[in-house]
Amino acid sequence: MYSVIDLFAGAGGLSLGFQQEGDFIVKGVIENNPNALNTYLKNHAGVAIKVDTDIRSIDFNKYKEEVGEVDLVIGGPPCQGFSNANRQKTKFISMNNALVKRYADAVLALKPKAFVMENVAMLKSDVHKFFDSRMDHEYVEGIGIKMKSESYVIMNHNPDGIEMVNLLSSEEKIKKYSLGDITFNLIKLINRYKDKKAKLSNYFDKYSKIIVNNLENYKSQICDDAVGHIVSDYVSNLIKVYKDKALSNTDIDIIDKFIEFIRATSLMAELYDNKIIFELSYEVSGKITALINTYSVFEYLSKRFKGEYIIDNKILNAADFGAPQERHRFIMIGIRRDYRPNCQITFPDALIGKRHTVRDAIADLEDFAPSKSVDAEPLERRNFSKNEFTRNLQDNQHKIYNHVNTDTRSVALERFKKIEPGKNFHSLSDELKMNTYSDPSRTQNTIYLRLDYDTESGTVVNVRKSMWIHPTKDRAISIREAARLQTFPDSYIFYGSKDSQYQQVGNAVPPILARAIAHQVKILLRG
């Protein structure tokens, strides 16, 4: 038996595939989401070492003393792409990519015979990058990684020229202008409702009091300087808007300027907190940018592993291995050089023959009306499918757990009725698109997607947030149906809130793909 440590384990799809293959036993699991960890542990008996803390706080040299020798490390660390274009977010989301570094730290500390890293298909693209940081600048340069200088917009419209640059250049001042995320997010909501009279009125009734209180506290902390006077005027205007519960075009302009200012301070605070090396630049137009050296996530991984591991990577599509969905994922496999010095990394071959469809995965559940509560009793099944693939997913279970979906509002139901199999939000009339998204034309093709029984689905995400629709019923896809598309058997039960269960399923590695990878890894380990 080969011992396995699962990092960023989630609900356990990757581990399940390895256990289904046989000859692999999970020795330790690390997952800091309590609901996902609960799901994992209730479906994987006998895991000896469980860690529910942030992986960034773990000393893997000490962890190694606890777990002993490890044959295999598996896991899918979050790695998000970064784009500075048209962003409304207040975070440099590529900071999350630091978790990829922790995965590499763990592998190099634990020194398993092999490792498997699963990630987004676009990991090798230019949008997946690290920012140059004082914490590891010398190390990164030392292993020969090439850096690229890039410019990131901090502010598009600067109300006070060089004084604003001076403020943003001061870590101490930045923190004095920090506005809590809750208040900031509530203020940003006003742009969603500004052209919708009834919703704007409800928004004011619901949030005005808390926003006013928080803004008055914020105003008392503003510095007595040139920028502070401008910001103080912004805040005074906002307080009046929320007290009067009235919004003019002039107010909207001031609110937008305040939002941009807070966004800029938030971005700068993140750069300081993460010890990012940068240089601010001020243009005559008013734009303030940060010049930052970046480097590729993929190149970093390749350079870090190549000394101790023979590595290779490939994009695998879960549909090629029996999953009823198109799901392209980056897979990197490494074999320790001193264990198999002449190892040639190979990947599993795609299955030949008929692909499985949405019908194969969920048609047997069509006439079972989903429950609305995760606490509802499981449904009873009396008959099993004659379709071999479906029968394997049924897993000889007479009870159907997690067949739960969300209530559908009347307006959403009207949209459901108008969308044909394989179509999405964009097929709706303009009338039915009203009062939905701030810019309906930019809505992703996965939103309000009605599944087609006779094809694979698209990549399963959080189908509740995406409002996926059943192929023939005017209702949302249930948690169990989403799990079926991911190839989780019915014996695999998910725990936590409804939102959490949908998210756990959407984040998972399809076990059927994991099993194909496990089979190949076993061949590589045996030589």
Which residues are part of the catalytic machinery?
79
In which element (H, E) is residue 400 found? strand 399-400
Nearest to 266 by CA among 88, 44, 2, 6: 88
Contact 207/189 with Cβ under 8 angstroms?
Answer: yes
Q: Which amino acid does the sequence have at 473?
A: K
Beta partners for residue 317, in sequence order: 328
Q: How far apart are CA 463 and CA 444, in angstroms?
A: 13
Nearest to 271 by CA among 259, 261, 263, 282: 263
Task: Give Rg (Cα) of the chain.
Answer: 26
Contact 24/2 with Cβ under 8 angstroms?
Answer: yes
Q: CA torsion, points 438, 439, 442, 444, in degrees to nearest 10?
A: 40
Q: How far apart are CA 218 and CA 207, in angstroms?
A: 16
Place of tokens 């994987």: 44
Contact 319/326 with Cβ under 8 angstroms?
Answer: yes
DSSP 433-469: HTTS-SSGGG--TTTTPBP-TTS-B-----HHHHT-B
Residues near 372 by Cβ (< 8 Å), separated by ≥ 6? 404, 405, 406, 407
First to last CA, the chain: 15
Contact 327/319 with Cβ under 8 angstroms?
Answer: yes
Q: How far apart are CA 245 and CA 247, in angstroms?
A: 7
Beta partners for residue 314, in sequence order: 331
Nearest to 345 by CA among 321, 299, 313, 318: 313
